[in-house]
């Protein structure tokens, strides 16, 4: 018997563990494929207009599945080792690997067809439903091959040492082979899918207007304790305590010069701290540079937009992804930015300096999103914009939250910012003086008087 039997938990070898996780995640994917079938027949048989948001979330999930798990170092290592041990499997593995690339393109096409079908419903239905049916069919085939051939052979032929090497190939940032972080992201996306799936298909039937906060979203994402920040001799932030839970929108309001921007810059690492601690997902940020913070998912949209005025819209967006390189995924994300902000597509060859204020704000947000933030720091995004555009900016912020991005929002526009927020803080001359839920702050006597003009 191996030494594993002496452990408290039921002993599981590396291979068993890995296979168990893969099978579990595959089962979830099967259920989602079944759901897609149901949505498809609802559309065709019951003449039901497709739910774009739900389908988009499902597509996000599938895309995530193929991007974050496959074509990662672990998967490459697995395929390599299996090909060596079982040369007759090599052609199949090669085909499966190619399948990811093709699937990826098909998914992009599906998103496009869905948008078209939504726009001119019921026109475009046939094209979309055919493409979707072909896609699910191909994906099912792919998974069947993985489950029927790849996993059994891997199980039989790969040794504990192989699995050890495969697992060690993981690059920690990406956390693949269904590592903890990837699974957490899947859970979040599944949670959204289940929430928005109609009850008749076994979902919760949540309307899109209602908020989704994942059950695990109460986890603390950012914690700031006893923070002191100065410019030279002048102390600007005094002993600030703030925390942000993952999935929340937290708003920060305060008068001019209160230190709001300084606080954001301290979080993003552009401004050094004198004292106190900032922790992000349990990690102490003290020794982590601004660039590394971006790579870790903390991304700021600075006050006054600060786009690169002499560069094209396109290049500005690409610069947002500088920590990620010019990979095919980045190009996909660019495409998604253009879908999210159609005006940026229209102006993609214009210099950023030629855009209006509102357009520049969208560009600044698009650029930040290209860095794949998990915590987005927004410094007065509505400043100086016409009411209609302000409305639009707040809508986008809401959307981003629904996509699972946590948001720290600094705003002069206190009533709208607090109405949107799960929680909020009031900063006065570098000190947090009030904190509470968005609703509590909106009805707070002092806040109403000082910031809402009531
Ligand atoms: N680079 C700097 N050097 C010295 N002092 C600074 C610097 N930046 C800001 N300050 C000072 O620090 C204090 C806080 O400024 P900060 O920009 O953080 O406030 P804010 O709340 O963002 O204000 P606003 O609403 O005007 O954007 C102010 O007194 C400001 O004058
Ligand atoms: Mg400011």
Would you say residue 450 has pLDDT above 50? yes
Confidence band, pLDDT 50/70/90 cuts, at residue 5? very low
341 within 8 A of 361, measured Cβ to Cβ: no
17 CB-near residues (< 8 Å, 6+ apart):
none
Domain residue ranges of the chain, discontinuous segments joined by +: 3-210, 216-451
Please list the residues that pair with 230 across neighbouring strands: 235
Q: Which two tokens stand for residue 277?
A: 């601690």
CA of 231 to the centre of ligand 1 (A): 9
Do you know the residue count of the chain? Answer: 454
409 within 8 A of 421, measured Cβ to Cβ: yes
Which residue has its alpha carbon closest to ligand 1 atom 16? 259
CA of 262 to the centre of ligand 1 (A): 6
Would you say residue 357 has pLDDT above 70? yes
d(CA 295, CA 198): 37
Would you say residue 36 has pLDDT above 80? yes
Per-residue pLDDT of 289-348, as tens digits, reads 999 999 899 999 999 989 999 999 999 999 999 877 778 888 889 999 999 898 999 999
Tell me which CATH homologous superfamily contains domain 216-451: P-loop containing nucleotide triphosphate hydrolases (3.40.50.300)
Pairwise pLDDT comparison (41 vs 8), residue with the higher score = 41
d(CA 254, CA 341): 30
Which residue has its alpha carbon closest to ligand 1 atom 31? 257
d(CA 11, CA 16): 10
Per-residue pLDDT of 178-227, as tens digits, reads 566 677 778 888 888 888 899 889 888 887 765 555 555 468 899 999 99
CA of 247 to the centre of ligand 1 (A): 28
Per-residue pLDDT of 146-178, as tens digits, reads 889 998 999 899 998 888 888 777 655 555 555
Confidence band, pLDDT 50/70/90 cuts, at residue 7? very low
d(CA 132, CA 113): 9
d(CA 148, CA 97): 16
Per-residue pLDDT of 240-263, as tens digits, reads 999 999 999 999 999 999 999 999
Pocket of ligand 1 (CB under 6 A): 231, 236, 254, 256-262, 303
Question: Please, where are the H alpha helices in 120-223?
Answer: 125-145, 151-157, 160-168, 180-196
Q: How far apart are the first and last CA of the chain?
A: 75
Tell me which CATH homologous superfamily contains domain 3-210: nmb1532 protein domain like (1.20.120.520)
């Amino acid at each position: 018997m191996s030494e594993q039997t002496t452990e408290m938990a039921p002993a599981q070898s590396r291979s068993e563990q890995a296979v168990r996780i893969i099978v579990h995640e595959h089962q979830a994917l099967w259920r989602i494929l079944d759901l897609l079938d149901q949505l498809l027949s609802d559309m065709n048989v019951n003449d039901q207009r497709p739910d774009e948001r739900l389908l988009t979330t499902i597509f996000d999930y599938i895309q995530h599945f193929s991007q974050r798990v496959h074509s990662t170092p672990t998967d490459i290592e697995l395929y390599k080792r299996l090909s060596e041990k079982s040369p007759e499997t090599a052609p199949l593995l090669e085909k499966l690997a190619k399948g990811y690339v093709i699937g990826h393109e098909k998914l992009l096409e599906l998103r496009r067809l869905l948008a078209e079908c939504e726009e001119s419903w019921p026109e475009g239905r046939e094209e979309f439903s055919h493409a979707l049916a072909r896609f699910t069919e191909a994906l099912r085939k792919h998974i069947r091959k993985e489950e029927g051939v790849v996993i059994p052979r891997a199980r039989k032929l790969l040794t504990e040492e192989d699995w050890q090497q495969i697992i060690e190939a993981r690059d920690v940032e990406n956390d693949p082979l269904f590592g903890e972080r990837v699974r957490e992201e899947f859970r979040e996306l599944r949670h959204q899918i289940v929430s928005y799936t109609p009850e008749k298909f076994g979902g919760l039937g949540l309307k899109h207007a209602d908020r989704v906060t994942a059950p695990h979203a109460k986890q603390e994402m950012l914690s700031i304790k006893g923070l002191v920040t100065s410019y030279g001799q002048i102390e600007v932030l005094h002993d600030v305590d703030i925390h942000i839970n993952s999935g929340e929108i937290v708003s920060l309001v305060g008068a001019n010069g209160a230190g709001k921007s300084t606080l954001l810059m301290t979080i993003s690492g552009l401004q050094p701290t004198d004292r106190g601690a900032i922790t992000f997902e349990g990690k102490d940020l003290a020794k982590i540079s601004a660039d590394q913070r971006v790579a870790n998912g903390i991304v700021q949209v600075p006050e006054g937009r600060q786009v690169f005025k002499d560069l094209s819209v396109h290049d500005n967006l690409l610069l947002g992804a500088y920590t990620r390189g010019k990979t095919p995924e980045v190009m996909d994300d660019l495409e998604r930015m253009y879908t999210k902000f159609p005006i940026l597509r229209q102006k993609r060859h214009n210099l950023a300096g030629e855009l209006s204020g509102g357009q520049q704000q969208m560009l600044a947000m698009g650029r930040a999103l290209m860095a794949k933030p998990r915590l987005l720091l927004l410094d007065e995004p509505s400043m100086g914009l016409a009411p209609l555009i302000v409305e639009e900016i707040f809508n986008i912020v809401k959307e981003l939250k629904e996509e699972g991005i946590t948001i720290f929002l600094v705003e002069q526009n206190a009533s709208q910012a607090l109405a949107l927020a799960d929680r909020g803080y009031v900063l006065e001359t570098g000190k947090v003086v009030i904190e509470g839920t968005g609703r509590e702050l909106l009805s707070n006597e002092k806040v109403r008087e000082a910031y809402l003009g009531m």
